[in-house]
Amino acid sequence: MKAIIAETTGPPEVLKLQEVPKPIAKDHEVLIKVEAVSVNFADIKARLGQYHGVANNEPFTPGLDCAGIVEETGSAVTGLSAGDRVRAFPASGSYAEYVVASDQLVYKIPDSVSFEEAAATLTVGITAYNVLHEVARIQPGESVLIHAAAGGIGTTAIQLAKLAGVSEIYGTVGSEEKKKVVEDLGAIAINYREQNFAEVVAELTGGKGVDVILDTIAGENFERSLEVLAPFGRIVSFGHANEGSVPGNVKTDELHSSCRAVLGYSTGTYRKQRPGFLKNAEAAISELLEQRQLNVSITGRYPLEQAAQAHALMESRKSTGKLVLLP
């Protein structure tokens, strides 16, 4: 079979299509013929050697999630059979024609949901759902600021926030094109390249700030976000998408008297250590897709051998919505 291999960390060009052995499902694993692969920003970070769990200069196959058809199940697997339409978090990357995944991280797809939709919403859907509902515990009538709002997680989080009855949704973007994407979803868009987002949010909220902030950028962006986090507010840090993956800092005296909270989240950590926790979010996203209450904007489709082109576009910060690879 064919798979994308990065022999070393580096620019998009390190991603090469190679012939590799077809994986074999162990007792509690499922072998899946891949029909669609999601491209996530974490894949960029992994290729650069900046994603947790990826060792520098060791060959690996990128990718967190995919969708396809079950070809074979391990001897201890129940509830899944050959021919089932599924999406999954594979054990060793998803940029491949075939993958194996733990049966705890394989989920059936409703008949009305396409492979592309299923793949494109697994990581971003679960992440957006969990940071809003399980971590930030957002409530109807609260307000939220979403960074990188035109991306896969951002556009999903806007839709989920609206469904949750959030009163005001603010989203930061880096271009006028992305601003329109966010505004079309019903959020107030702020172009951080042209305006100081913290000053804009402070003005729009009458100095009160927002109740919840979703931050995948970290660094200075995180620190400026704290300026507009309201009393009793929660900021969720779940990524370091800034150049160099620079962390953000917080002083404890900025938290206790205002009853504000800084919370961390990683879908990847839950995948590895508490996979069962992800089932509720996956089921909720799957139901919303089936009911057409959640829409995914797939803005780029690439054959597997063009993974480098997909990475280059995403890394340029010019993409919106989701990009998928088609083996």
Averaged pLDDT, groups of 10, the chain, 327 residues long: 93 96 97 97 88 70 97 97 98 96 98 97 97 98 97 96 98 95 97 96 97 94 95 94 79 92 96 97 98 94 97 90 94
Say how many Å lie between the first and final Cα of the chain, rounded: 10
* 3-state secondary structure string across 173-235: ECCHHHHHHHHHCCCEEEECCCCCHHHHHHHHCCCCCEEEEEECCCHHHHHHHHCCEEEEEEE
Model pLDDT, residue 242: 75
Q: Which CATH architecture has domain 2-122+288-326?
A: Alpha-Beta Complex (3.90)
User: Nearest 5°: phi and psi at 18?
Assistant: -135, 160
Instruction: Please report the pLDDT score of residue 248 as a whole number.
Output: 87
CA-CA distance, 30 to 24, in Å (whole number)? 9
Domain 140-265 class in CATH: alpha beta
Distance CA 167, CA 164 (A): 9
Domains 2-122+288-326 and 140-265 alike in fold? no
| Burial of 119 from C-beta contacts in 10 A (0-12 / 13-18 / 19+) | buried
Domain boundaries, the chain: 2-122+288-326, 140-265
The pLDDT of residue 259: 97
Whole-number pLDDT of residue 144: 98
pLDDT at 319: 85
* Predicted local confidence at residue 52, as pLDDT: 61
Directed axis angle between helix 115-129 and helix 278-290, to 10°?
130
Q: Which of 66, 6, 86 is nearest to 322 (CA)?
A: 66
Tokens, residue 227: 């300026």
